[in-house]
Structure 1
Amino acid sequence: MSDPSRPEIYVSTDVEVDGPIPGPHSMLSFASAAYAADKTLLGTFTANLELLPGAQGHPDTLAWWEQHPDAWQAARRDPRSPQSVMTDYVQWLEALPGSPVFVGYPAAFDFMFVYWYLIRFAGRSPFSFSALDMKTMAMVLLRKDYRRSTKNAMPKRWFDDLPHNHVALDDAIEQGALFCNMLSESRRR
């Protein structure tokens, strides 16, 4: 459980997968970048995972991966067992200097995989069962409809000069910085 006396640590997380849902499909890779509210990067965690027994890549997702061979290679390098990875991830999250808050873009997709893997392989989630969605936050800040609150609609001042290349760690860092910039602007209003 989170301790209200500890500061929130924003854990920007990105997953790379081979299908739309966990179980029939596998999480290939994921990464988290832990940020303080002031955009201090406190640490990162990244891992590539072995495929789930009996799972198969979805044809549409595999076709997408064919268009991103460098990212595919990065996600398949030195995979580890999900049990080992998720146990290490829980330990990393619990060692952070505050209460971890899952942050995703879109949170519903990334959190679905991370939560499923946490419960299945580690038996618990330091995030509880909630996640902060950056697109919803953008909707509020931009005062636009949800489906119009895309990255293309966001002001350039929210973006740092960081890569977004479908390599989980790069994307987690980039999206974490974006979140912190959004958070800072929301708190100045």
Structure 2
Amino acid sequence: MARTREFDTEAAVSRAMELFWTRGYEATSVRDLTKHLGIGQGSLYAAFGDKDGLYRAALEYYRTTLAAAALRRLEEEADARAAIRALLVERVRVAVEQDGRGCLAVNAACERLPEDPSVRRIVRDMQDAGREALAEVLRVAVERGEIAERHDPHTLAAFLVTFLNGLLVSSKITPDVRALEPLVEIALSAVG
């Protein structure tokens, strides 16, 4: 008779996400995970397969919760420049928390892509969603006359995603919003 799972899988994934985000994949052992989650090693393996499976679940959780919420806020703001500024500044603020833990997706890209193609897919999906949401905000802003059509909205959105990725890496080196926020204003000058 199979045993029933005796822990909340979603809560475990959320807690694992926080641990991976703070420590990184390599510095987080299975023992660290079981201790932090309050579950046995057998339960971890039964639920997620292995550490890699739990890491992918944590990335997916990040994508469907935090990253998705940021995109919803972007789409809800009426003014395109204000929405983009708020998105960039908020992502920097989150990245510098806890002594510069960065962005889980960017951290995954830097640490895990060569070893795990499925991580590449998850991170690429997040990047694509961000780029498409930004392109739509920019396209609508051009139609409303809020910004000049100096650049193709998709190209400008790709630039902003690339800029944000670099900014999030920089936040690990310099975890100081006041030092990084002026860079957002320079990037916004490309918006028009």
| Structures share fold, TM-score greater than 0.5 | no
Q: Rg larger in 1 or in 2?
A: 2
> Which structure: greater helix fraction?
2
TM-score (norm 2): 0.28
Higher relative contact order (CA 8 A, sep 6+): 1
More strand by share: 1
Per the normalisation by structure 1, the TM-score is 0.28
